[in-house]
Structure 1
Amino acid sequence: MLSIALATVATLLLGITLLARLPVHWWWIRACEFPRMQIASLALMTLLLAPFAETPWQWLALVGGLATLVIQACYILPWTRLWPVQVQRAESGHDERCVRLLVANVLTPNRNAEGLIALINQHSPDIVLTLESDDWWGQQLDAALASQWPHAVRIPQDNLYGMHLYSRLPLVSPQIERLIQDDIPSISTGVTLDCGDDIQLYAVHPRPPAPNESKESLWRDAELLLIGKRIRDDSVPTLVAGDLNDVAWSRTTRLFCRVSGMLDPRRGRAMFNTFHAHYRLLRWPLDHVFSSEHFTLRDLRRLPEFGSDHFPILTTLCYRPSRADEHENPEADHDEHQQANETIREGKARGQED
């Protein structure tokens, strides 16, 4: 029985791994991209137990487990210290050129606003971005943050896609946008740093591919790629932050980085898994901060949980355009740009579907 069980598990893991490579938008295929660490761990366990299996099941367990582990490792390793960093380390000083950004998906039913506010007061970020924040959350945050973070964009919604942006730094021409679907907002704004320079910030929270949300990842993918193309066309210092409802190593997120030229400060450092805060064995990097080549990284950390199913993430990036040539920007080829354009067109055409 052990032999058959090991061979079955190895075959199943390899099947899930290969399914994730299919270029389709079906939610259950895209969901196969999320638990890569978990699948790799199970594949390793299968390999370790394979010598105890009988032939021919032993060979199935060995080949399936090894193939799965190798494929998954190719996706996972860039988010470990075994890989070169993508965003260079900031030097000391130049504090006036740095921006400290805290991103927190609050989980709408969660009512522990005091826990999040305590983290904000402890770490004193320049910008606070909350996701899934409804009118109740907005009232709590306004009362606690308005004096020290006077510049704000408020989008209270009770459909899990509300967001609030609070900033100590002045905001320049902030806009609320609904890029693909009318009930999914995003924020686009300039931010004036203490040094006087302006940067661009996009705050996003697209709809996830899930059976209770959306049967396809099309609308999430289209929103991210649309922002990516805008960043590429604008060529200004830019940060993108939010809950992308996508993992760092997914097909879409990697394509977004190549289309936009944006860099991931986690690469070469760690995964900084932010979801799920309550289940240690079911975690992956779902909340993101990306930067253009104009920034270096001073600090990146995951903060303690406060009742949400997401951990907050705190990132300090320094605007250092003189060091831009130290970064190797990802580049999309012609076919990838065409793929992005087609996804955006289809997403806009079918924008109001669920």
Structure 2
Amino acid sequence: MWGIYLFLIALLVLLTILPKIQHSHWIFRVPEFGKIQITYAVLITFILGLLIAEPQHLWYSQGLLLLLFVHHGVTLIKYTPLYPVKKHQQKHQSSEKLHFISANVYQFNKEYNRFIQLIEKYQPEVFLTMESNGDWENAMKVLEKDYPFHHKVTLENTYGMHFYSKLEIKSAQTHYFVADDIPSIEVHLKTKDGFSFVFFGVHPPPPSPTEEETSKERDGDLLSAAKRIKDIKEPVIVVGDFNNVAWSKSSILFRKTSHLIDPRIGHSFVSTFHAKYRLLRFPIDLMFHSEDIFIKELKTLENFGSDHLPVYCEFFIDHHNDEQEDQVEEANSEEKAEAEEMIQEGKEEDGERDAIVTEG
């Protein structure tokens, strides 16, 4: 028991230290995803220590576990209702309530009808799919009678992206910030009650042993999007499979560079991946918004066969409400220089994706 206890402590210390090392290799970046699970493991290991007949130096190791728990807890508490944020009220100058669904459908998922039924059930004004290829595009054609406006980027490399809307699309464009096979979309919309806003969809590649060796393309793509978003004068929502967590350095740089707000702060994690394994579920499908977008509800919906749970959001637009201004943080000169360096590294990185992928 004592040997297992010491091994767990060593492992937890290692998983805590690795993300602190600012190296782009996946070995250093992947442990960031599991901060929630690591914190639970620290607590369980501490309880295990209480059950051990007291050997010499036990309380030193228990004290170390307490330090680890506090270290992770200081970050994670920001993404719970325990963290105080200013509550806002919807005022008469605001838009009607709007809704979107964002879903990484998993390209090899063939349960098209389950996703179509999900859209028909919740009837969002707009929805975004990622990993949607030609087969998914054909399957979703039945929704076009209700969603006459769309912007489609059909790819067979697991980075396809489709946007459907009941609202009028004023303009739409596809960006390829760091690689010609990794799209982001920018869609300018107008609501039925006359409010304009921009919907930005992103899906950069993850650092992992099975995909990209480093986080360079992911971080470069996200920070390139952030620079573009900062120059948009209309209300903005950014949604997608970020393959990142909100507390990582690159996510914080994204938020500060784009001048956007993270709606998870003071509310909940909204964990989405992996859909089938609750205990190994990470909050990597993120959302950020400008200060004149107000979130009423942000949550996951039921699984439709993908490895990601879909994200559902209810929001409204209010140009006259300044209650969220103090939540906007801006990058300082050092952070701006770091973001530029990450963008350049992302453009120089040579991703190892095939033009057409196959299952397995």
Structure 1 range deviating more: 324-333 or 40-49: 324-333
- Partner AA of 1:192 in structure 2: K
Q: Are residue 178 (structure 1) and residue 176 (structure 2) matched? A: yes
Per the normalisation by structure 2, the TM-score is 0.92
Q: Deviations over 1:77-129 (max 9, x none)?
A: 1111111237x545277784433110011111111111111111111101110
| CA-CA distance at 1:236 after TM superposition | 2.9
* Structure-to-structure mapping, 1:123-272, within 5 angstroms: 123-142=122-141, 144-272=142-270
Within 2, Cα distance between the matches of 1:29 and 1:131?
Answer: 26
Secondary structure of the structure 2 residue equivalent to 1:16: helix
Q: Secondary structure at the match of 2:145?
A: coil
Partner of 1:288: 286
Q: Which residue of 2 aligns with 1:117?
A: 116
* Counterpart amino acid of residue 162 in structure 2: H
Q: CA RMSD in A?
A: 1.8
Identity rate, percent: 33
For the 8 Å contact 1:27–1:211, the answer to whether it is kept is yes
8 Å contact 1:11–1:61 — kept in the other structure?
A: no
1:85-96 superposed matches below 5 A: 85=85, 88-91=87-90, 96=95
CA distance in 2, matches of 1:150, 1:209: 36
Unaligned runs of 5+ in 2: 354-360
Secondary structure in structure 1 of the residue aligned to 2:320: helix
Distance of 1:119 and 1:345 partners within structure 2: 40
User: What is the aligned partner in structure 1 of residue 33 from structure 2?
Assistant: 34
> Are the equivalent residues in 1 in contact too, given 2:255–2:261 (CA < 8 A)?
yes
**Helix, strand or coil for the counterpart of 1:20?**
helix
Task: Check if 1:337 corresponds to 2:342.
Answer: no
- Supply the AA of the counterpart residue of 2:201: A
CA distance in 2, matches of 1:277, 1:157: 23
Task: Please give the alpha-carbon distance, in whole angstroms, between the structure 1 residues aligned to 2:21 and 2:254.
Answer: 17
User: TM-score scaled by structure 1?
Assistant: 0.94
Uncovered stretches (5+) of structure 1, i.e. residues with no partner? none
Contact 2:95 2:317 in 1 (8 A): no
- Structure 1 equivalent of residue 77 of structure 2: 77
Shift of 1:197: 2.5
Aligned partner of 2:321 in structure 1 is 323
What is the count of residue pairs matched by the alignment?
351
Q: CA deviation at 1:40?
A: 0.6
The CA deviation string for residues 325-348 of structure 1, in whole angstroms up to 9 with x for no partner, is 433212222211110011112212
Whether 1:11 and 2:3 are equivalent positions in the alignment is no
Could you report, residue by residue, the CA deviation over 1:252-297 in whole angstroms, capped at 9, with x for unpaired residues? 1122111111111121111111111101110011112211001111
Q: Determine the structure 1 residue equivalent to 2:103.
A: 104
Change in 2 beyond 3 A, CA 1:85/1:120: farther
Instruction: List per-residue Cα deviations over 1:206-250 (Å, max 9, x = no partner).
Output: 011012211000110011111112222334311101110111222
Q: One-letter code of the match for 1:249?
A: W
Could you say what secondary structure the match of 1:322 adopts? coil
Note if contact 1:90-1:297 (Cα within 8 Å) is conserved in structure 2: no
Secondary structure in 2 matching 1:347: helix
SS of residue matched to 2:82: coil
Matched residue, 1:62: 62
Structure-1 residue corresponding to 2:22:
23
Structure 1 counterpart of 2:164, one-letter code: Y
- d(CA) in 2 for partners of 1:334, 1:177: 26
Describe the shift of the 1:63–1:4 C-alpha distance in structure 2 as closer, same or farther (beyond 3 A): farther
